[in-house]
Structure formats: C-alpha cells, structure tokens
Structure 1
Amino acid sequence: MEYRQPAYEDTLLVAGCKRNDRVAQERLYRKYFELAYRICNRYTPQQNDTLAVVNEGFLKIFRHIAEWEPEKGQLGAWIRRILINTALDHIRSLHRSVAHSPLETAVHLQLNEEALDRITADELLKLVRSLPPVMQAVFNLYEVEGYSHKEIAGLMCITESTSRWHLTAAKKKLRNLFREGQSVVSG
C-alpha cells in the first residue's frame, strides 16, 4: 500500500481536535457527517437510531483522534472503520445472543435488470432495513463494504459459517420481500 500524504485540511482539523478545539471538532463533524450518516443508515434497523449511532461514532472519533496515524491510511478511512464498528456495537447491544445453524453454501441474490430498474434506492434500503439486525449487518458488510466472511466473523464475534448463514438467509429473505413487493405493485 502506497503512503499518501493526508489532506492539509484533515491535518489541521486533527491537530485542533487533539487540543479539544470545539471549532475544529465541529468542522470535522460537518465534513464527515454525510459519510457517517450514509454508513450508519445502512446498519441501523430503524432510521431513528441512525443519528444516535452517528453521534456515538463521533464521540469515539474525538476521544481517540490522537490514535489516528496518517501513514496507516487516510482520515476518512479511519473514520469509516470507527463508524462501522460503532454500528456493529449498536446491533450487538440490541441482540446479545443469536443462535443459528450454519449453511455452507451461499445463494446469490438474483434479480433481473428490468426488476432492478423498477426499484428505487430508498425502496431497496427499506427492504434491507426489514432484515433482522445481525442479518442486515452481515449483508451490508459483505455485499456493500466488501468484507470477507473471515473479517466479518472477527468484527461481529461470530464464526465464518454463521456469517455465511446470515448472508444466505438475508439474500433469501430479500428475494422473498422483493417478490412480495412486486406482486403488490403489479396486482
């Protein structure tokens, strides 16, 4: 991985945040709020929870800003990782124990292009949000964020086979929800 110099603005914002400068903290919050909201919105089962998770994430960012190492990656990537972990912590707090049997084979979500043309991003988000929180998190981590099952297992404190099970179940449920929605729309 090639080292890239952090943006000058980010360097100044981080320096200010390390000094607990409220203006720098507000600027950092405003600069990364949209990214934070989009990330947390994908993981929270209720839209009402999104802002709470965003704010909890920013509290962690401000508390740990001195730990950011520019040579290990861009500030936005570091913030993104904290926000994803905060959203996962939120999901874990909602569902402390989930027991499922693993399925070893993943079923791919197969929708034809014409069907995808008829669904909006908001409708798709509503379908994903209707999934149980752990299933929703695994789906987002794997399909949206690009994490492997091994990485998901480490992040969520589950086994790789449980991660695969949740992904399979999420895709099956989404297919069924989509079909139900299509029959309601066309019927």
Structure 2
Amino acid sequence: MKPTAEQDLDAILAGCRQQHRRSQQALYRLFYAYGMSIAIRYVGNERDAVTVLNDGFLKVFRYIRRFDTTKDFKPWFRQIVVNVAINHIKRQEQYKKEVSMEEGQTISAREEILSRISYQELMALVQSLSVAYRTVFNLYVIDGYRHEEIAGMLGISASTSKSNLARAREKLRVMIQQQMQTKYA
C-alpha cells in the first residue's frame, strides 16, 4: 500500500522535529510555492518575498516542536509566513499609517467589477497598491482577519485599518475601470 500525502507530510514533520536536513529540504520543496504565493502578496516583489519565505522557514524549523500534530500544518505555516511578512514590512519602514476615510462603494458595484477581471489581473493590481493598503487588503480580504486583529498585528487603530481597506478598494476600483476602458476601447 502506497503512503498518502498526509502520511508523507507526517513523516517529513517528524524528521524536521529531529532536525534532519533531508526532512527540512523536503518540507521546503513541498511548501515553497504556497509560501511564495503568500509572501509576494504582502511584500510585492520576488526578492523580498524570497527573504520573507526563507525567514518563515527558519521560524518553522526553530518552532516545529510547538506545532500541534493533531491540526493541519498548512494554516500554521501560513500564519508564520504572514507574520514574518508583516514584520519585514515594519522593519523596512515602508509601512505608513494613513488617515481615515469612509468606504464609498456598494457591494453590488464591486461584484459587477470583479466579475470582469481574472484573479491574476486582480493580484497584479493589488501588488501596485502602497504597502499599507496592500497589507490591510491582503489581511482582510484574502486572509479573513477582522479589523481589530489587523490593528493589533500592524500597530494601528481599527479605524485606520478600515480606512486603508476602503482606500485600497477605491484605488483598485479606479485601476480596474481604467483597465476595462483600455481592454474594451
């Protein structure tokens, strides 16, 4: 009987707990693409994303004994990469607190706009947002955090988080409209 992917992962994680290099390399290969997709959403460029991902893996290997083996590994890994990305942004001093603003776009308008654009196109536009807007957008929209949680993670107020999200959405709306005009002109 062939072992399942879950059994393979369990064996790899057991090896990582014992600090076996081959197990660490196997885990790195197994989760590299997933980790990069998370890291690049936050830091916006491949060079910094690789740094974030490598730092994330170092934390995984350092704290692997704290991982609860009764739970799924992927969310634990994701949380580490997100936290490392946020800390990277803070260290780079690119993160700027931005002032509060009311959200002005209706849900139906958002849905209509988003139905015309692919996920890849949307992610490319998200990458062009400022670090503050991109970070809050990713945490709230993509990763599902609440504004209070985002505020605690980033050291900002919940109202600033809401404002940054509203501004990110507005900028995305404008960029999407411009892209649609160019596409269908």
TM-score using structure 2 length: 0.85
State the identity %. Answer: 34
| Partners of 2:97 and 2:156 within 8 A in 1 | no
Q: What are the Cα deviations for residues 128-172 of structure 1, in whole angstroms up to 9, with x where unaligned?
A: 001011210110111111111111112212111111011011001
Mapping for residues 61-140 of structure 1, pairs under 5 Å? 61-71=60-70, 73-95=71-93, 98-103=96-101, 105=103, 107-108=105-106, 110-111=109-110, 113=112, 115-140=113-138
Q: C-alpha displacement at 1:107, in angstroms?
A: 4.1
Q: C-alpha displacement at 1:29, in angstroms?
A: 1.1
| Partners of 1:104 and 1:161 within 8 A in 2 | no
Partner residue, 2:28: 29
Give the match's secondary structure for 1:99: coil
Unaligned stretches of 5+ in structure 2? Answer: 1-5
| Partners of 2:150 and 2:158 within 8 A in 1 | yes
What residue identity is the alignment partner of 2:43? T
| Partners of 1:44 and 1:87 within 8 A in 2 | yes
| Partners of 2:139 and 2:145 within 8 A in 1 | yes
Give yes or no for the alignment of 1:166 onto 2:147.
no
Taking the aligned partners of 1:152 and 1:68, their CA distance within structure 2 comes to 23
Q: C-alpha displacement at 1:18, in angstroms?
A: 2.0
TM-score using structure 1 length: 0.84
| Aligned-residue CA RMSD (Å) | 2.1
| Partners of 2:16 and 2:64 within 8 A in 1 | yes
Relative contact order: is structure 1 or structure 2 higher (C-alpha 8 Å, sep ≥ 6)?
1
Q: C-alpha displacement at 1:104, in angstroms?
A: 5.2
What residue identity is the alignment partner of 2:40? N
- How many matched pairs? 179
